Structure 1
Amino acid sequence: MLDLLLCNGAVRTFDGTGWAEAVGISNGLISYVGTDRDAPPARRRLDLRGRLLSPGIIDSHNHLLLGFDPDAVSLEGAHTLADVRNRIAEHAAARPDLDWVCAENAVYSVVEGRRPNAADLRGLTDRPIFITTYDQHSVWLNDAAIRVLGIERGASIPWGRPELDDDGWPTGWVTDFYTSAMTTAGLKGLQRDIPMYSPDRRYRRITSSLEMAAASGITTVVEPQVPLAELDLMYRARAEGKMHSRVITALFHPVGADAEFRRDLREAVDSAPADDMLRLGPVKLYADDVIEPHTAAMLADYANRPGHRGASSLPPNEFTAMLGELDRLGFQTHTHATGDRGVRMALDAIEQAQRSNRTTDRRHGIVHVECLDDADLPRFAQLGVVPAMQPRHCSPDLVAGTWMENVGEERWDRAWRFKSLAESGARLAFSSDWQVGEMDPLVGLYSALTRAGLDGGSAWTPDERLDLDTALRAYTQGGAWAWHAENELGVIRVGAKADVVVWSANLYVLEAEELLGERADLTIVGGAVVHDAHREYGEEPTVPASAAHSGHGVPTGSHTGWAH
C-alpha cells in the first residue's frame, strides 16, 4: 500500500532516458515508477491530468542569506539614474524611522560611461544611503554615508575597498564588497555600521528565501557562502522548522585565510550533527571578482581598458597551494571564477591538487564561468570539474552595456558556453544565483533555451542555446551529481528520496516563451508536501518528516549518504 500515488502524468525520470505515467511514494522514498495500470493501491491518489512531474530542482548556487530585505528598496528594473533616485526618494519619505536608507540590486550601467558616485544621490535625503549592486560585489554610498563611515578622513572599512578620485577623495563607490563582507572582520564591521546586516534581518532573509524555494519547485538549495560566524542562523532555521527544502551549506574561505582557519572549517564540518535536511561541507573560494567593474581576471586586456586585465584573488601559486590543502583535507571546493584567466587558474589548481594528493572524484566546482577560453573547455570533463552556471546571467537585458562592452565583441563567443560544455561531456549544474537572478527555475530554463531577455527580444550568442531536456537535467540530475547525491536525488527511481515537483503543465509540449507563464503546482520533499499552489492535496504544507529535531535547537536525524 503506497502512501501516495501521483498518476496520469508525464513523468520525466532522468533514470536513463525514461518516462513514466505514475510515481508512488512510501515512507519518504519513491517506491513505484511505471504505468497507471500497474500501480499498487495507495492511501491517497492525485491525478496529474497530464502535467509534467520531474525530480525536484536542485538549485546549486542560491544565496539564501541575501534574499530581499523588506526594509530596503529594490532597484530591480531601475535602468536609469532617474529611476533610482525616484525609488530611493519615495522609500526615504515613506520610512522616516530608518536611520539608514538601504537599496539593493542596482545595475552598473545605471549611469552611462562611468561608475555611479555619491554626487548622483545628492538631494534625496540627509540620511546615509547604502546601495548594493545586483551581484553584491560593489556598494554605492552617498555623501552622508561617506561621512558617517569616516571614509572622507581616509579611514578604511573592513567590508570593501573605497574607490578614490584623482585627488584622493572617495567617490562613493566601494569594490570587493562581497568577498570582504563575509570575513570575520568584514561581517563584524557591517553589523556595526549598517542596520540591514543585523542577525535578525539576515535571518528574515533566510526564511523568506526558503519559502520562495519551496514555492518554486526547489527541493535542494545550495547556500554558497556562509561565514562560520553565521552558521547559527542556519541551525536556527532548521530548529524552528523553516527548512522545507534540503540545504547544503558551503562555508566561506576568505582570501588569505591561513591553515589554522582551514582546520576550523574541518572541525565545523566534522562536529556538525548528521542531518538529512542540513548538510555542511563544501568550501567557497574566489579565483577572481567580476567583469562589470573590471575586477575579473582576463587572459587579454579588457576591450575598453587597454593595458588592464583585472586580477586574480591570489597569485596562482598561493591559490594552488590553498586549494590543494583543502583537497587534501577532504573538502570539495566551490570556486567563483568569471574571467577566462580566473577559470584557468582554478582549473590549474584543481589539476595540481589531484596530481599531488592523488585524489579522485572530489567533484570540485567552478561557479559562473562567464568567459571560457577554447583551450580550457575540455578540461571540465577531463578533470571531473562541475561548471556550476546560471542561465539567467547570459540574458542580454542583464549583460548588454557594461558586461558586453568590457569583454568586447570578439570574445562574446566565450560567454556562458552551456551547449559547448554539455557536448564536451561536462556535468552542468544549473542554479539561480538568487538574488542576483530570479529564483524561479522556469526563468532559468527559458534563458537556457532562448538566451534572450525576459521581454522576448533577440537571442544573444544563440549557438549556445540548449534544449529543454538538457537544461532540466542540469537543474536535477546534474545538480545531484555535483553534490555526490546522484543515487538519492535528481532522479525518479525506486529507492530514491521522494523529492519531486509537479509543474502546472507538461513543459515539454510548450514553446520556450510559454515557460514564463507556468509555475510549480506541487513540491514534495522526502514525501512531504511543502508547497501546494491549488491546495489540491487538501492539507497545509508541512515540514518533511526527516526534518524532526530535538534539543537545544540542534537538528538530529539520519545521515543517509550525504557525503562530506
Structure 2
Amino acid sequence: MDPHAFIVRRIMDPSCELHTDVLLKPSGGAAGGVCWRDGVVTGLEASPGKSVPCIVPAFVDPHVHLILGARHAQRADFSNCRSREEFSRCLDMAHRDQPEGWLIGGGWDAGRLGLTPDRSWLESVGDRPCVLWSRDIHVAVVNDAVLSQLDVSPIQGGCFHRDDSGQLSGRLEEAAAWHRLNPMIPEPSPSTDRLFVEHVVPLLHARGILAVGSMEYFRHVKSVLTQGVPGLDLSITLLDRSEEVDATSLREEFAQHVHLVLSGMKSFADGTLGARTAWMDTPWADGAPKGWPLDHTAEGTLASWASQVRSEALDPAVHAIGSAAVAAVLDAFETAGIDSGRVEHAEFVRDVDLPRFKGHWCSMQPTHHVDDAREIAKCADPKLAFRFRSLQEAGGQLAFSSDWPVVEADPLNAMLEAVRPDRSESVGVMTALEAVTTAAARMVRLPDPSLRVGGPASFVVLDEDPRQALPQGRVPSILATVRHGQVVYGDLP
C-alpha cells in the first residue's frame, strides 16, 4: 500500500486560489488569500470566488514523542478514569480485548482518581505481566508478575515505592521506571512501530499539525524514522541517557530526506509535578519534599554535556519543571557559554531567574496547566508557575507544544490556555500563534511555515478568526489542513 494513499484527502488542481476574510501572518502584514501552483505559493491575494473565513500557517508541535504516542494510541487508555471502579472497568476491558502478552497501558492521573494506584489495583489480570504508565510517563504501576522479575535495589534518581508496612507497592518513579523497567518491556517490531506512526499522521493533520519535533531514542530513530514520515516534517531531538549516540551517522542519513532534520539532544534535570519529583527550591505547602535532580544535573556534568552537544552542532534541550531545576539549567548554559539553549517545560521560574532567560528557548506546554493546576495550588509559591508573559518580557523565546502523548497534540487548545484573559501571565493571540508556528519551527530547525511567495502552500483553514474567538473562550474549528497544495484533512470550497 502506498503510504501516501491515506494522507491526501483531495487531489487539488495544479493551479489554485483561495480567498479569505482573514489571513494571519505572525510576521505581520495583510493578505487577502492564497494562490498556488504545484504546491508552491505564487501570490497572497485572490479574486473573490472560492472563499474561507480564516487562514493561518500550518501548526508545528515542537515537543512530542512520536513513537511513544503512536504506541499509546494502540494501548489501553486510563486518562478518563476518575475512580478506582472506573479504573478497574477499563483494566478488565483491556485484559479481555488484548488477551495475549504483556498488558501495557497508561494515562492514569492520581489527581483525577483521588488515589494513587498500586499493585493491588492490577490483581484482576492474574499472572500476566502488566505495566500502566501515569499521565506524565514518569511513574509506572506494575503487578506482581513484573515485580518478581525486577531488580529493586536502590537506584540514583528513582524510587521503588513501599507501603506503610515496608512492602513494595508496585509504583516505580523516574529512574526506577526508565532504567530498570523499560528494558524489560517487550517492544513492537520496527515495522509495527512504523505502521503505528503512519496511522497517527491523519490525527495530527486533523489538528492542523504538519510538522513535529520529536524526542526519540537513538535506536528507535535508526530502526523506524530514518526514512522520514510521509505527511510530516520531522525534527529529532535525541534522548541522551544511557545509550551510545552516533549523531554523525544520523546526520548523514537525514541529509537524504528533505523533510527530516536532527536538531538536538536532551537531558533531564528533574521529574514532574504530578509525580512530586519536580525539583523545587522549597518544599511543598502540604509538607511534601522538594524533589531531586536527575541525570547530568545530579552528576554535576550538565554544563560539560551541553558543551559537548553544541560541539556536535546540535542544541542542548533540558527538561526542567521545578524552580531549582530551571535555575540549574540556566547555570549550566551560562557556564558552557550557550546563549540559546532549550529549557523544556520551564513551569516554575523564580523572579531572579527571569532575566537569565534572555535568548534562551522557553519550550512550554500551556495545556499542561489544566491537569497541573491541582498540584500548582499545593506549591509553596503558585505565582511562579507558567510565566508566559514574564518570560517573553524578559527576552525568552516562547515555543508552545504538547508533549504528546502526555496531553493531546492540539495547538489551538494550547493557544486558548496561553491567552486566557483571567490569567496575569497570559499573552496575546498573535504571540501564541507565533509560538505554535514560526517560533516552534525555529526552535527545532524546521522550515519556516509562514505563508509567503515561493514557500510551500501549507496552511490551516479555520471557521473563525482566533483573535476574536480565543479571548472569549472559543476554540475555532479546523475546516481543512492543506500540505503542499493538497488537502490532507477536511475540505475546501
- Identify whether the pair has TM-score above 0.5, normalized to the shorter chain: yes
8 Å contact kept, 1:158–1:180: no
Give 1:322 deviation, angstroms.
0.9
1:321 aligned to 2:282?
no
How many angstroms apart in 1 are the aligned matches of 2:136 and 2:251? 28
Cα gap change, 1:510 to 1:424, in 2 (>3 Å): same
How many angstroms apart in 1 are the aligned matches of 2:192 and 2:445? 33
8 Å contact kept, 2:264–2:309: no
Match of 1:515 among 474, 478, 482: 474
Give 1:29 deviation, angstroms.
3.1
Give 1:520 deviation, angstroms.
2.3
Match of 1:448 among 418, 430, 433: 418
1:75 aligned to 2:78?
yes
1:304 aligned to 2:286?
yes
Under a length normalisation based on structure 1, what TM-score does the superposition of the two structures give? 0.77
How many angstroms apart in 2 are the aligned matches of 1:513 and 1:8? 22
Residues matched between the structures, number: 479
Q: Which moved more, 1:306-315 or 1:286-295?
A: 306-315
**Per-residue CA shift, 1:83-136, capped at 9, x if unaligned?**
2112112222344x3233322101032554x64211233345453321011111
**Per-residue CA shift, 1:133-185, capped at 9, x if unaligned?**
111111111233323x345xx5799997532346653210011169836xxx9
How many angstroms apart in 2 are the aligned matches of 1:86 and 1:173? 20
Give 1:415 deviation, angstroms.
0.7
Counterparts in 2 of 1:137-156, with a 5 A limit? 137-147=138-148, 149-150=149-150, 154=152
Counterparts in 2 of 1:142-291, with a 5 A limit? 142-147=143-148, 149-150=149-150, 154=152, 161-165=159-163, 169-176=167-174, 180=178, 188-191=183-186, 197-235=188-226, 238=228, 242-254=229-241, 261=244, 264-291=246-273
Partner of 1:401: 374
Partner of 1:475: 436
Give 1:271 deviation, angstroms.
4.6
Choose between structure 1 and 2: higher strand proportion: 2
1:99 aligned to 2:58?
no
Give 1:469 deviation, angstroms.
1.7
8 Å contact kept, 1:370–1:415: yes
How many angstroms apart in 2 are the aligned matches of 1:178 and 1:225? 19
8 Å contact kept, 1:389–1:428: yes
Partner of 1:531: 488
Match of 1:379 among 334, 350, 356: 356
Partner of 2:57: 55
Give 1:391 deviation, angstroms.
0.9
How many angstroms apart in 1 are the aligned matches of 2:289 and 2:464? 52
Q: Which amino acid aligns with 1:24?
A: C
Local SS of the residue matching 1:463: coil
1:6 aligned to 2:18?
yes
Local SS of the residue matching 2:270: coil
8 Å contact kept, 1:158–1:186: no
Q: Which amino acid aligns with 1:283?
A: M
Give 1:265 deviation, angstroms.
2.4
How many angstroms apart in 1 are the aligned matches of 2:104 and 2:372? 24
Aligned-residue Cα RMSD (Å) equals: 3.0
Give 1:531 deviation, angstroms.
1.6
Give 1:289 deviation, angstroms.
1.6
How many angstroms apart in 1 are the aligned matches of 2:203 and 2:466? 21
Q: Which amino acid aligns with 2:284?
A: Y
Local SS of the residue matching 2:430: helix
Local SS of the residue matching 2:324: helix
Q: Which moved more, 1:227-236 or 1:331-340?
A: 227-236
8 Å contact kept, 1:389–1:431: yes
Cα gap change, 1:316 to 1:27, in 2 (>3 Å): farther
Give 1:400 deviation, angstroms.
3.9
How many angstroms apart in 2 are the aligned matches of 1:36 and 1:489? 26
Cα gap change, 1:179 to 1:470, in 2 (>3 Å): farther
How many angstroms apart in 2 are the aligned matches of 1:308 and 1:162? 18
Local SS of the residue matching 1:284: strand
8 Å contact kept, 2:318–2:329: yes
Cα gap change, 1:276 to 1:146, in 2 (>3 Å): same
Partner of 2:367: 392
